[in-house]
Structure 1
Amino acid sequence: MPEQFHRPVRRPSAAFDNLVGPADSTEAVRIAHETASALLTRARDDSTGESTERLIAFTAENGIDDIAELWASAPAVSLPGALWRLYLLQLAIHTDSQTSALLYERGRVELASADAVVAGAPVPASPQELVALIDTILRGVFQGDFSVALDRAAAFCRVQVSGATHLADDYETTEPARATELTTRARRLHLYAGDLSAAAGLWRVGELN
C-alpha cells in the first residue's frame, strides 16, 4: 500500500460497521446508478487492464469518502450497492488484514459448507493472502464474470460471519465489549452476504441495475 495518500483517508476499524454513507435521495440514487454503470463499462472495455488496476487501487489512494458520496445511498441489491459493499470489504481487509485472517480461519474451520472453497482463499490464509484474494475478486468484477465475483465475495462474508460469531462466543464472559463488536460485525457481514448473493442472481438474468 502506498506510504502517502493524496488526501486524508477514512479507514474502517471499529467504525467499519458504521460506514453507511450519505442520506438517500432520488438524485443521489440516479447518480449512483449512472456512475456505477459507466465505471463498469469502461473497465470491461479496456483490454489493457489498466483501468481495472486503477479501480482496485482507488481506495488506497483516495479513501472511501468519494465512493460513499456516489454509491452508499443506493439500494443494497443494485449495481452501485454491490460495488459499494465490495469496496468496503476491500478497504476493511487492507486496513486490518490480521483480524480478517483470524476471522476467516476460524470461520473456515467451523463452517460446514462449501463457502471457503467458493471464496477461494488458501488454507490457511495469511493476512497478505487475504489482501490478494479480495483484490482478485475485484479484478473478477471488472474483467471476469461479475456474478461469480459477487458469489465469491458473498461466500467470503459468510466464512467471516462464522468466524466472528464463534469468536464472540469465546469472548462473551471475559471480554463482553469485544464480543459485542464481533457480533455487530457478524450481523453486518451477514447482510452483505445476502445482498451480494441477490445481486449475483439478478446479474445472471440481466436485471441488476
Structure 2
Amino acid sequence: MSADFHKPTKFSTDKFESYESGNDPATILRIAHDTAHSLVDRVRDNPEPDIVERLVEYTDTHGIDALAELWARSSPRSLPGALWRIYLLRVLINQDPEGTSTLFQRGSDVMTTIDPLVAGASMPTGPAEIRDLADEILRGVFRGDFAVALDRAASFCRVAGAGAASIADDSDATAAPERASELTSRALRYDTTAAELTACARLWRRGELD
C-alpha cells in the first residue's frame, strides 16, 4: 500500500514562482481549473471535519508533486493558482518551522500594519504556532470565508517578508552579504505571493476567481 504514495518532496524557497511539469499546457490548465473547482465546491458544500483534515494533511503523506502537476503552472490569479500557493506555503512552513517563525516574529515586531493580526498567529510565534497557523489557513479554504483564508495567507506572506527584509539588514551590518542577499530574495518572493493572494481574494469576492 505504501508504494502507492509519493514520498513528500523537499522544496526550496525558490519554488514560489514556478514548477516545470507536464507536456501539454492546454490539457494541464483545463485539468487544473476543473479539479480546483470540483475540490473546493464539493468540500465547501459539505465540510466534514475528517475530510477537511485529510485535505490539510494531504502533502504530509503524498508529497506536493501531484498538486504541482495539477496547479503549479496555472495563473497566480486563478483558483488553482491560489490553492497551489497556499499548499506550497504550508509545505515550506512545515519544512522549516523554526526559521519561518523567526521571520514571522521579526516581521510582527517591525511592522506597523494590521497584517500580523489578520494572519492570526498566536504571539509570541514559535515553530508550533507557525505550524498551527499554516493548518488553520488551509482549513479556511474548505470552510468559512474563502476570501478570508486568502487574506490571512497574504498577510502571513507580508509579515514574513518584512521579517526577512529586516534580518537581511542585520546581515548586511554584520558583513554577511550572501545571507542578506538570500533573505532579500525571499522577502521579494513573499511580497509577490502576498500580492497574488490579495488579488485572488478580491476576485473571489466579486465571483470572478476562475
TM over 0.5: yes
Aligned to 2:20: 22
Per the alignment, in what secondary structure is the counterpart of residue 57 of structure 2?
A: helix
8 Å CA contact 1:97, 1:131 repeated in 2: yes
How many residue pairs match? The answer is 203
Q: Distance in 1 between matches of 2:49 and 2:43?
A: 7
Whether 1:167 aligns to 2:167 is yes
Runs of 4+ in 1 over 6 A off after TM superposition: none
Q: How does 1:17-166 map to 2 (within 5 A)?
A: 17-18=14-15, 20-22=18-20, 25-166=25-166
Which string of whole-angstrom CA distances, capped at 9 and with x for unpartnered residues, describes residues 2-40 of structure 1?
xxx94322112xx22135112682221111101101111
Aligned to 1:179: 180
Higher deviation after alignment, 78-87 or 23-32: 23-32
Aligned to 1:195: 196
Q: Distance in 2 between matches of 1:8 and 1:16?
A: 19
Q: Distance in 1 between matches of 2:19 and 2:156?
A: 23
Q: Distance in 2 between matches of 1:47 and 1:158?
A: 29
Q: Distance in 1 between matches of 2:178 and 2:88?
A: 23
Structure 2 unaligned regions, length at least 5: none
Shift of 1:49: 2.0
Aligned to 2:7: 8
Q: Distance in 2 between matches of 1:9 and 1:136?
A: 20
Q: Distance in 1 between matches of 2:192 and 2:34?
A: 24
Counterpart residue type for residue 184 of structure 1: S
Per the alignment, in what secondary structure is the counterpart of residue 200 of structure 1?
A: helix
**TM-score, normalised relative to structure 1:** 0.93
Counterpart residue type for residue 7 of structure 2: P
Counterpart residue type for residue 84 of structure 2: W
Structure 1 unaligned regions, length at least 5: none
